[in-house]
Amino acid sequence: MKRTGVVKVDPKRFLSDLHELRSFGASGVGKGVVRPAYCASDVAARRWLAGRFVQAGLRVEVDAMGNLFGLAEGPSLLMGSHSDSQPEGGWLDGALGVIAALEVARAAKQAGGPAISVVSFQDEEGRFGVTTGSAVWSGHLALAQADALVDHAGVALGEARQAMADMVTGDVQAAQFTGFVELHIEQGPTLDTAGEQIGVVTDIVGIRDMKITFEGQQNHAGTTPMHLRRDAFQALSAFNATLNDRLRNVVTPSSVWTIGHVSLHPNASSIVPGRVTFSMQWRDGDAARLGRMEQIIREVAAQTAAASDMELRYGPLLGLEPVAMDARLRAALEQGAQAVAPGQWRRMPSGALHDATNLSRLMPVAMLFVPSIGGISHAFEEDTREEDLVAGLEVLAHAVELLG
């Protein structure tokens, strides 16, 4: 594979669009954004992106989930990521991949090829589930099932997606794409700590995510003796302490588990909480270990419920399997990395989840990382040095030429 140098990306145009996208849902804290799936700022951002796709000579299509595509003529390499954010999101998580893909598509078109299509998937950040937009598009999740998913405020996805119903044009067929390449920030400390510029992803971890509820007895915080309480918070506290002990027997240093959202009912100072619903999420690069972790989580939940006289309920278990990146696409990214950042790049796994996992069911996929300053992400402080953003873009341009 030989690079010709005809795909000339325009770093100024790329950075200008990246900062303009940041203005949709700007949090006012650092460069942070608040752009959860289907909220006003997310839909406004997608309308703006659609306009940029048209200006780039791409045909805009939007499917029922609100996945926004800019399509090249004929068979094309799909590039992109997501433009929705976490409730407190960084300006680059997802957005970088969408704008970099747009810039490469523009430069490739101006150079007379190769054909590049662009996508911004919806709800990658899981306001409703795990990467729901690309999970539905890739056939991993039925639209009817997705519509029934609810966010932490009880809003159903089926209702929320009506906010962009007027943009929907219909299904987008996967067969037109020869593969998928996603540029993303690392969202971890590896590259930043090593002083390197580029990560070529080898594989993406698997994930499991479900809600767990303990139901005891709501009661008066002053008159209810401690030994008579059926306190849901105490049950969660006992569950968490026991779980940490038990999981240590099966995990490795790269296994992670998180209780990130806790809803205590009725959440009042003078009331013994009768109910707690919390998110239980775990990730690992090994599918069998994900299963062993699940078994322990369910055992500890059942033991805790029995010991605390709690009713135990589970929400739907959502998840994705670990996936390896495509060798051919990865080799092109490695050649690009060696050309753009010689000695400043490495091969590495992704501890974060990405739409690429869903697309790997349909086509070859590969991912590229640029550093996150301080390893910070899913926080308003998330940032990356501009020269590293541009280096990632240049590697993409190099790789698409090699892939032809």
How far apart CA 18 and CA 54 sit, in angstroms, is 17
Region of 20-28, 93-101, 191-199, 395-403 interacting with Mn ion (CB under 5 A): 93-101
Taking the complex as a whole, how short is the minimal distance between the CB of residue 169 and ligand HGY, in angstroms?
26
What are the DSSP calls for 95-142, one per residue? HHHHHHHHHHHHHHHHTT---EEEEEES-TT-SSSSSHHHHHHTTSS-
Nearest to 241 by CA among 329, 192, 307, 326: 307
Q: Which tokens in the block code for residue 332?
A: 């092109």
Looking at beta carbons only, is 76 or 360 nearer to ligand HGY? 360
Taking the complex as a whole, how short is the minimal distance between the CB of residue 234 and ligand HGY, in angstroms?
29
Backbone dihedral region for residue 184 (phi beyond 0: left; psi -120 to 50: alpha; all else: beta): beta
For residues 157, 83, 110 and 342, what is the CA-based torsion angle, rounded to 10 degrees? -130
Give the one entry of Mn ion, ligand HGY, none that residue 42 binds, where binding means its C-beta sits below a cut-off of 5 to 8 angstroms depending on kind.
none
The helix/strand/coil state of 165 is: helix
Compute the C-alpha angle 88/89/94, nearest 5°: 155
Region of 92-100, 141-149, 196-204, 288-296 interacting with Mn ion (CB under 5 A): 92-100
Taking the complex as a whole, how short is the minimal distance between the CB of residue 83 and ligand HGY, in angstroms?
13
209 binds Mn ion (CB under 5 A): no
94 binds Mn ion (CB under 5 A): yes
285 binds Mn ion (CB under 5 A): no
Compute the C-alpha angle 95/137/49, nearest 5°: 30
- Measuring CA to CA, how many Å separate 173 from each of 75, 82, 139, 150? 11, 18, 11, 27
355 binds Mn ion (CB under 5 A): no
Looking at beta carbons only, is 89 or 273 nearer to Mn ion? 89
What are the DSSP calls for 295-322, one per residue? HHHHHHHHHHHHHTT-EEEE---EEE--
206 binds Mn ion (CB under 5 A): no
Taking the complex as a whole, how short is the minimal distance between the CB of residue 82 and ligand HGY, in angstroms?
8
Give the one entry of ligand HGY, Mn ion, none that residue 388 binds, where binding means its C-beta sits below a cut-off of 5 to 8 angstroms depending on kind.
none
Residues at the interface with ligand HGY (CB under 6 A): 124-126, 352-353
Looking at beta carbons only, is 124 or 147 nearer to ligand HGY? 124
Looking at beta carbons only, is 324 or 339 nearer to ligand HGY? 324
Taking the complex as a whole, how short is the minimal distance between the CB of residue 206 and Mn ion, in angstroms?
16
- Measuring CA to CA, how many Å separate 334 from each of 126, 326, 402? 30, 12, 11
Which of residues 42, 84, 93, 147 is near Mn ion by CB under 5 A?
A: 93
Helix axes 386-403, 95-110, angle to 10 degrees: 50
Give the one entry of ligand HGY, Mn ion, none that residue 326 binds, where binding means its C-beta sits below a cut-off of 5 to 8 angstroms depending on kind.
none
Looking at beta carbons only, is 36 or 273 nearer to Mn ion? 36
Give the one entry of Mn ion, ligand HGY, none that residue 129 binds, where binding means its C-beta sits below a cut-off of 5 to 8 angstroms depending on kind.
none
Taking the complex as a whole, how short is the minimal distance between the CB of residue 157 and ligand HGY, in angstroms?
16
Taking the complex as a whole, how short is the minimal distance between the CB of residue 381 and ligand HGY, in angstroms?
15
Identify whether the C-beta of residue 202 lies closer than 8 Å to the C-beta of residue 325. yes
Contacts with Mn ion, residue ranges (CB under 5 A): 93-94
